[in-house]
Chain A
Amino acid sequence: GAVVSQHPSWVICKSGTSVKIECRSLDFQATTMFWYRQFPKQSLMLMATSNEGSKATYEQGVEKDKFLINHASLTLSTLTVTSAHPEDSSFYICSATGTGPNNEQFFGPGTRLTVL
């Protein structure tokens, strides 16, 4: 089956630093990748849609200058949390869709970000 990986699986950083999270589709080409964040005991909140070779589309209320998304190839998208603050601490999950008719999304294992 389709596999999506994320790296790192967890990261702790100091307030004010930037953190980059990678999302890779390992055995398929992902035309579209999605970035979500999830707070404890809550559902997934879509942050942005990332299409290879074009600018990401951000959801309302998500600061594009704070959450930089780059989708440079069909197998890799990165999310950079710039000048991270404690309120950015969350579980970040990416998903990827291939080119099949059902647009099925395959989820990565998530990255736990803790900002001190």
Chain B
Amino acid sequence: EDKVVQSPLSLVVHEGDTVTLNCSYEVTNFRSLLWYKQEKKAPTFLFMLTSSGIEKKSGRLSSILDKKELSSILNITATQTGDSAIYLCAVLPASNTGKLIFGQGTTLQVKP
């Protein structure tokens, strides 16, 4: 059965800290891995990763995929209180259904 596991499930840090969120997967016929940030409403897209070893960066956030280890990390440097959210990792298999398989999410709280 296809599965996505995130760790840690929750994390509390102080402003300025750097955090690393983990996502591992077991999926038949992997196509891509996606990271989302969810605050009060629906998830907002952060990154889509398809190729191993290529870092994607957006401001203080970056992410990389390791297909050998079947995992990805999301890094946030110099955290701010506005980074407090649930971070969701999802995998898109290569089937044509388009169904995303979500991990449990990591709840990040950044304290001032």
Contacts and interface: CB of A to CB of B under 8 A. Distances in A.
A105 B100 contact: yes
Contact of B104 (A43, A93, A103): A43
Contacts, number: 49
Given A42-B104, A43-B104, A44-B88, A93 B42 contact: yes
A104 to B, nearest CB: 7
A25 interface: no
Interface string A27-47: 000001010000001111110
Contacts of B60: none
A30 B43 CA distance: 18
A42 B86 CA distance: 9
Interface stretch (A13-21, A61-69, A73-81, A107-115): A107-115
B92 interface: yes
A102 interface: yes
Contacts of A105: 98, 100
Contact of B41 (A97, A103, A109): A109
Interface in B31-82: 31-32, 36, 41-45, 48
Contacts of A97: 98
Closest 6 CB pairs of A and B: A107-B42, A43-B105, A103-B98, A110-B42, A109-B41, A97-B98
B97 interface: yes
- The residue in B48, B92, B98, B107 that gathers the most chain A C-beta atoms within 10 A of its C-beta is B98
A46 B41 CA distance: 16
A108 B43 CA distance: 8
Given A102-B48, A107-B43, A110-B42, A49 B99 contact: yes
